[in-house]
Structure 1
């Protein structure tokens, strides 16, 4: 796929590559519009310390987390200025003292949560997972945060059986498209919400599309699944979680994995996430008292660890086998980071935006 957003970097040599000993990186300098607050710069190439490696990045992901960070509405906001970038795939080019099990030339994946939007990244080996050589870099990075989120919500947050029905909000998005494919592969019937312009995409993924702006979405879902659905995967939060709860069949599960920040002022960093937290706690105690008909609600947040490494390897296997096809919404140079974030803000994307340093 050709690069759809290529700009000349602010510094470096005439052909756009960093000078010897230099690093190209992207900084987010504060809250505001991406074009004003996201800039390409040059800095020193890191040297790996003890237990760390230096990675030359092949692809770094762009996610809704960066939109939240730009608006200072992420639940764990970094201090401005900083280098964004939740996930990356690249090659180890240098190992620090005390490193074992990894060597120069190894292809790796990592989810540092920030710092991936640069050409060279220093990371501890404890955060690394092996990335197969045969996968396209953009595909491999799409499987990290988005893919592991989708896989773990489906297979670790719920206990679904083939033949059951689930509702996936945002079924054409970075997480939603992968979650839909995984659910269909697992033998589930999937109802997927999306704007009408993306309904063909949702059908291609194997799901039944539903307009997320439907006035009475509960009735619309009940018309398709009169007994309710066994799971709802919600990335919106707020009052929509109450509607999602009423769609559940007895013993069903509502998984909240993000919260929309629309309508919140920059700096209200935790407020968008309070409604989901409050409802999760209330329904936990209601379930203990036997008041939910066996239904439950959980909040999901992807994190590194043994399960992450295991699940990422399985996702890579499924992608290599052709079972899973991450949708790549756009491939951008580092200098196109603002363009990629703008696309997420505008809501026009299908799949994952990636940066190719």
Structure 2
């Protein structure tokens, strides 16, 4: 790796996309138990969009290298790591640091990517796929014959979620802007225009008895509406606060408010339940169990892609050095799927 250079995209503070900075350096070495991964694809998720605004719940202090997930090949292994991993394509969930040409990981955090998936395809379902799989199967435990509502059904997480739900045998209602409705119908989803007036009333028309699960990334008033759309015994999974994206003030308050509401709702004797999902909450299981669960769930998602149950939706592929353009595109709301950065 002596002839290679390290390229990182740095977020220096609350800046416009053009304020992102490029930093060059020496490719790092793999310490004990670690591997160096030459990144082949990383992406722009809602998390990075919020970090740019200083609005992500527990983002690190500026400056830092964003990038929630990545796919790449192992280029070097440290002491105590099987050298046979060299050359293996892997995926990893890193939360920050992925917008780089090379990343150092704990070897235990690298999940093998099966043959048949391109780096960009695999990248679209790392964070988005783990999030969708765990909410659907570990939290809501959706079963065949049930009906679910997915807000933001054309987005990164939403588009994976609706496909996994359909593969599980559930009927799906999905909110999205009208331009995405034809694509949702092709997936077997009943679309609802979130800009078209009374969304809860439209959902009630499609599911008069309520829905068995709602997946809500919007936050704010939407969470309350989602709770009231549940059928008896139904489950609400809140996993974001997109409606507060451009708010000022505390970045923790929107999440804390959702947590307070879910706690109060769960105290009601009506059989319904609500929770706020965050992938990192699984760390309470302990490091080894958390890693094993991530590996298992991501492997399940990769399997669903290989079987054709999930289509990896790449909205666009852009060079890592063009991260500013990629962020603008991702934030425009004009594309479906995920914007992928290629080092």
TM-score range, shorter chain: over 0.9
Alignment partner of 1:312 is 2:295? no
Secondary structure in 1 matching 2:85: coil
Alignment partner of 1:189 is 2:175? no
Say if 2:142 and 2:165, in contact at 8 Å, map to a contact too.
no
Partner in structure 2 of residue 302 of structure 1: 279
Secondary structure in 2 matching 1:49: coil
How far the C-alpha of 1:268 sits from its partner, in A, is 2.7
Partner in structure 1 of residue 285 of structure 2: none
| 1:152-163 pair list within 5 angstroms | 152-163=134-145
| Count, aligned residues | 333
Partner in structure 1 of residue 69 of structure 2: 87
**d(CA) in 2 for partners of 1:196 and 1:102?**
49
Task: Give 5+ residue unaligned stretches, structure 1.
Answer: 1-17
Partner in structure 1 of residue 159 of structure 2: 177
Secondary structure in 1 matching 2:80: coil
Partner in structure 2 of residue 270 of structure 1: 252
**d(CA) in 2 for partners of 1:68 and 1:253?**
26
Partner in structure 2 of residue 281 of structure 1: 263
Say if 1:237 and 1:275, in contact at 8 Å, map to a contact too.
no
Partner in structure 1 of residue 284 of structure 2: none
Partner in structure 1 of residue 224 of structure 2: 242
How far the C-alpha of 1:134 sits from its partner, in A, is 2.0
**d(CA) in 2 for partners of 1:202 and 1:74?**
29
How far the C-alpha of 1:33 sits from its partner, in A, is 1.1
Partner in structure 2 of residue 28 of structure 1: 11
**d(CA) in 1 for partners of 2:260 and 2:330?**
27
Secondary structure in 2 matching 1:305: helix
| 1:182-221 pair list within 5 angstroms | 182-221=164-203
**d(CA) in 2 for partners of 1:111 and 1:95?**
18
* TM-score (norm. length: structure 1): 0.90
Query: In proportion to residue count, which structure has more helix?
Result: 2
**Structure 1 range deviating more: 147-156 or 314-323:** 314-323
Say if 1:264 and 1:272, in contact at 8 Å, map to a contact too.
no
**d(CA) in 2 for partners of 1:35 and 1:279?**
38
**d(CA) in 2 for partners of 1:33 and 1:271?**
23
**d(CA) in 2 for partners of 1:232 and 1:226?**
15
Partner in structure 1 of residue 24 of structure 2: 42
* TM-score (norm. length: structure 2): 0.93
**d(CA) in 2 for partners of 1:57 and 1:21?**
12
Partner in structure 1 of residue 320 of structure 2: 334
**d(CA) in 2 for partners of 1:80 and 1:102?**
37
**d(CA) in 1 for partners of 2:2 and 2:9?**
16
State the structure with bigger RCO (CA 8 A, min sep 6), 1 or 2.
1
**d(CA) in 2 for partners of 1:348 and 1:274?**
30
Partner in structure 1 of residue 342 of structure 2: 356
Partner in structure 2 of residue 65 of structure 1: 47
Task: Give 5+ residue unaligned stretches, structure 2.
Answer: 281-289
Say if 2:77 and 2:83, in contact at 8 Å, map to a contact too.
no
